[in-house]
Amino acid sequence: MTSASSLPEVAPGTIAVWSDLLCPFSYVALRRLTAARTRLGVNVPLDHHVFPLELFNGPHPRRGTDTEAVGLGHIEPGAHFRVWTASDDLYPHTVLLAAEAVLAAKAQSLAAGEALDLALRRAFWTDSLSISHRQVILAVATEVAEADGILDVDDLTARIDHGAHRAELMADYAIAQTEEVGGSPTFVLPGGTSVTNPGITVHWEGPWAAGFPVVDSADPDVYDNLLLRATA
């Protein structure tokens, strides 16, 4: 007898994504998927869930993200990956509050969740902003609200200040520990089919956080297929 899936049901025409904000593979994947969505002219919202790497591995190490930024920067130059340039004291070893903020934005709309998620990733990977801090998170959210008009910052602030989405984050973590979510990023289609880190294969030269990742293959066209399957 097959056990029931623990994954939340994915609405038709939607793709769920499980990821960590400091995962560079997720940033590449999300940029490529949104670019493919624009190119194909399809409306496929993303339903963000949290794959909290720090709850698996401990605090995020700067050396890990720096070496990954160097390794992945050449396959997605438009992402403007940068090594951390701000003070070491400001490095965000945790991004749980930022992840809660994305869930809080998603509660307003999937579009708001998407917009804040990408803005926070850009703030970290390009601008070296400490997205662990409430003040920085709300500043990024304010920029999103002013640019897109799809985010209510007052509502977002109330939600994160009251911890309204901490239980949701921990529920995501519980599911992330199952075999149904293979890592960050994992995309889940309507019907439950999932794919982890689509289109990219990589190996490490040297130990993690001391060596660097080498991308063996990177196929951006894989996202066209995911989008078309989501709309089928």
CATH of the domain at 178: 3.40.30.10
Task: Give me the mean pLDDT over the 117-146 stretch.
Answer: 98
User: What percent of the chain clears pLDDT 90, i.e. is strictly above it?
Assistant: 81
Does any domain span residue 232?
A: no
Listed residue (164, 162, 188, 163) closest to 175, CA to CA: 188
Does any domain span residue 27?
A: yes
Task: Give me the mean pLDDT over the 69-97 stretch.
Answer: 93
Q: Minimum mean pLDDT among 63-72, 117-126, 143-152, 159-168: which range? A: 63-72
Does any domain span residue 82?
A: yes
User: What percent of the chain clears pLDDT 70, i.e. is strictly above it?
Assistant: 98
pLDDT attached to residue 4: 58
Number of domain units in the chain: 1
- What is the tens place of the pLDDT at every residue in 91-131? 999 999 999 999 999 999 999 999 999 999 999 999 999 99
Distances (CA, A) of 139 to 31, 101, 115, 131, 165: 22, 12, 14, 10, 19
- Give the residue, 134 or 221, on which the prediction is more confident: 134
Indicate the SS3 state at residue 111. helix
Task: Give me the mean pLDDT over the 210-232 stretch.
Answer: 89
Listed residue (51, 45, 53) closest to 10, CA to CA: 45
Does any domain span residue 8?
A: no
Q: Would you place residue 6 in the very low, low, confident or very high pLDDT band (cuts 50, 70, 90)?
A: confident
Task: Give me the mean pLDDT over the 58-64 stretch.
Answer: 93
pLDDT attached to residue 1: 36
The domain in which residue 43 lies consists of 15-225
Q: Would you place residue 176 in the very low, low, confident or very high pLDDT band (cuts 50, 70, 90)?
A: very high
Alpha-helical segments (H) within the chain: 24-40, 53-57, 62-72, 96-108, 110-125, 134-148, 153-161, 166-176, 222-231
Q: CA dihedral in degrees (25, 26, 30, 32; nearest 10)?
A: 10
